Amino acid sequence: MQIIITGGAGFLGRRLAQALLNSSLSFDTLELVDIVPPAPVDDVRVTCRQADLSEEGAVNDLITADTGLIFHLAAVVSSHAEKDFDLGWKVNLDLTRQLLEACRHRSPGCRFVFASSLAVYGGRLPEVVTDTTAVMPRSSYGSQKAAGELLVNDYSRKGFADGRVLRLPTVCVRPGRPNQAASSFVSGIIREPIQGEPAVCPVSPDLLLWLSSPDTIVENILKAATLDAAAFGDWRTVNLPGIGVTVAQMLDSLERVAGREARERVTFRYDAAIDAIVSSWPGALDNRRALEMGFRVDGPFDGFITQFMSQNQL
Amino acid sequence: MQIIITGGAGFLGRRLAQALLNSSLSFDTLELVDIVPPAPVDDVRVTCRQADLSEEGAVNDLITADTGLIFHLAAVVSSHAEKDFDLGWKVNLDLTRQLLEACRHRSPGCRFVFASSLAVYGGRLPEVVTDTTAVMPRSSYGSQKAAGELLVNDYSRKGFADGRVLRLPTVCVRPGRPNQAASSFVSGIIREPIQGEPAVCPVSPDLLLWLSSPDTIVENILKAATLDAAAFGDWRTVNLPGIGVTVAQMLDSLERVAGREARERVTFRYDAAIDAIVSSWPGALDNRRALEMGFRVDGPFDGFITQFMSQNQL
């Protein structure tokens, strides 16, 4: 049985690959595919492929009758999709559909874990968002993910794929460099100061964010792949658990864990474009369904910072 | 200024065309386009075009800088989309997107009225569905319409089109012959008995349906085109008003209006495939937002039958 991770060169893709290799899950090969070359992994089961999957026919080279599980993490992230409308719809919707079509025709019923996002929400939201709150996205990224969710659900209902749609909270702390996600600053205002660098926060300190740590996200993505389809009931979309933290609370944590000088490296410079996207996302969701399904939630935010520091020898 | 109606040969398309020609709306040309040839209309402003718009490039021949308003009614209906998965996604999603793209590039900001459906709803629903109830469709048709709604909203947010998404209740009484809509029987159990023909009801008499009459639907579609964009607030999707009636109540009306012998022409023969689709739709929605926006709602169901009889000289 082959497992595929799209976006396999990305931060979550690499972490997920490692978790799969360390897990008790039985498989023959794990293929990491990305538009940039995935870094080699020292395990005979792993193959790496550099490919632009959105190119005509590319997914048909990838998915075979042996493919039993796909983690579809590849995406054009939020600010990027807002700037490049065509690329966003092409990758975030069309590629998802091409992958589902390839499953349908080459490996029907293949498990298909789709990384969606709380960016599907927007507009007037109830105080606490639940799995049955309507999605009214205020970004192209959110619209594309929401449309992708509908595809995965319909392909699953038809038995063409065995889909699991996970709405990811904002992941914090991501290592590495800033990216084109509107939420890039959420990790930046912790990661940079800890490493002695300045960071700019483009939103109000009062903004409530909905977060998950990398360890928890990776564990929950893996969990989604191993759950019985029946655990999802009759709708394959689930809001993964998160915790609500304001920017000010994050900075209080930063000061507690890494000292006052770290906190003082963060300055505020309002960016209307980023704020419009990020403040349209909910900051409070009801975790109950996800927890009942066996997904895990993080503890307080201080632990997000210590997790990052310990994993990066800081 | 040119107005286009896709699905212009269909029942609603023809009725809408007549309503436009009779209205005070100012326009130069009205183009009816459909995959079957639209019947000629005796008005110099009207042109008819037979075209499969889902064919490569077809929409680019249709939409020009002069196009100011499009009513996109063309669709593969519910049971048809459930049987022909590929055709459903191709027409109900891809064609919608191609039309929006043509607006964006040839007539940016063009008004775009999209006929969606209460079929976007499904699964566990609250007692009364509102505009903020999550859509979890239980049919490919509903999934395709829901994805189309997301497109229209995102193109509108970007200013590429000025979209208005109308979720239509089931329309009753449609004249003519049965079609491939799962809800075809809803009109059939009234239309056929009135004309002395037998009709089969494939669902339980207790099933609650959400209905609008043709006169009301056409008036509301026209209303949507003339409303200021601001009337929609920050989300372009609205559930058009309807009334909730059970099959048994419809048959009671039939007996009151057309006599006992009419009612006795209806027999029940359960069809699981039709019931699965139609019973996944809500039977009670909150009309308040739509009524506040100026849309109209029908009176009791007896009036649906007299409207049909008077318009068909019965």
Give the rounded percent of residues in chain B with a pLDDT score beyond 90. 96
Task: Give me the tens of pLDDT residue by residue for chain A, a chain 314 residues long.
Answer: 999 999 999 999 999 999 999 999 999 999 999 999 999 999 999 999 999 999 988 998 899 999 999 999 999 999 999 999 999 999 999 999 999 999 999 999 999 999 999 999 999 899 999 988 999 999 999 999 999 999 999 999 999 999 999 999 999 999 999 999 999 999 999 999 999 999 999 999 999 999 999 999 999 999 999 999 999 998 999 999 999 999 999 999 999 999 999 999 999 999 999 999 999 999 999 999 999 999 999 999 999 999 999 999 88
Instruction: For residue B199, name the pLDDT band (cuts at 50, 70, 90).
Output: very high
pLDDT of B36 higher than 90: yes
CA distance B21 to chain A (A): 35
Q: Give the pLDDT mean for B3-29.
A: 97
Whether B270 sits among the annotated catalytic residues: the reply is no
Tell me the whole-structure pTM to 2 decimals.
0.96
pLDDT of residue A256: 98
**Cα(A102)–Cα(B122) distance, integer angstroms:** 27
Question: In this structure, are residues A191 and A208 in contact, taking their beta carbons and an 8 Å threshold?
Answer: no
H or E element that contains A303: helix A302-311
Cβ distance B154 to A143 less than 8 Å, yes or no, reads yes
Q: Give the pLDDT mean for B92-105.
A: 98
Cβ distance A151 to B147 less than 8 Å, yes or no, reads yes
Name which of B136, B140, B151, B236 to mutate to probe chain A: the one with the most chain A Cβ atoms within 10 A of its Cβ: B136
Q: Which residues of A touch B (CB under 8 A)?
A: 85, 89, 97, 123-124, 131-138, 140, 143, 146-147, 150-151, 153-154, 157-158, 234-235, 237
**Cα(A12)–Cα(A234) distance, integer angstroms:** 28
pLDDT of residue A314: 85
Question: In this structure, are residues B166 and B66 in contact, taking their beta carbons and an 8 Å threshold?
Answer: no
pLDDT of residue A151: 98
pLDDT of residue B254: 98
Q: Tokens 């079929």 map to which residue?
A: B119
Cβ distance B143 to A150 less than 8 Å, yes or no, reads yes
CA distance A208 to chain B (A): 22
pLDDT tens per residue, range B159-194: 999 999 999 999 999 999 999 999 999 999 999 999
CA distance A103 to chain B (A): 15
Cβ distance B140 to A123 less than 8 Å, yes or no, reads no
pLDDT of B131 higher than 90: no
Question: In this structure, are residues A298 and A211 in contact, taking their beta carbons and an 8 Å threshold?
Answer: yes
Closest alpha carbon to B56 in B85, B87, B94, B88: B94
**Cα(A230)–Cα(A236) distance, integer angstroms:** 9
pLDDT of B282 higher than 90: yes
Contacts of A154 in chain B (CB under 8 A): 137, 140, 143
Which one-letter amino acid corresponds to residue B8?
G
Contacts of A235 in chain B (CB under 8 A): 123, 136
- Give A300: exposed, middle or buried? Use CB within 10 Å, 0-12, 13-18, 19+: exposed
pLDDT of B138 higher than 90: yes
In sequence order, what are the residues at sequence separation of 6 or more whose Cβ sits closer than 8 angstroms to the Cβ of residue A217?
A: A12, A168, A169, A171, A240
Task: Provide the annotated active-site residues of A.
Answer: 141
pLDDT of residue A192: 97
CA distance B95 to chain A (A): 14
The beta-carbon neighbor of B134 closest among A123, A132, A138 is: A132
> For residue A85, what are its two tokens?
């409308």
Cβ distance B85 to A151 less than 8 Å, yes or no, reads no
pLDDT of residue B314: 85
Neighbours of B212 (CB within 10 A): 24
Name which of A136, A150, A165, A285 to mutate to probe chain B: the one with the most chain B Cβ atoms within 10 A of its Cβ: A150
In sequence order, what are the residues at sequence separation of 6 or more whose Cβ sits closer than 8 angstroms to the Cβ of residue B102?
A: B59, B60, B62, B63
pLDDT tens per residue, range B41-78: 999 999 999 999 999 889 988 999 999 999 999 999 99
Cβ distance A235 to B133 less than 8 Å, yes or no, reads no
pLDDT of residue A131: 87
pLDDT tens per residue, range B202-250: 999 999 999 999 999 999 999 999 999 999 998 999 999 999 999 999 9
Chain A residue closest in CA terms to B149:
A147
pLDDT of residue A286: 97
pLDDT of B290 higher than 90: yes
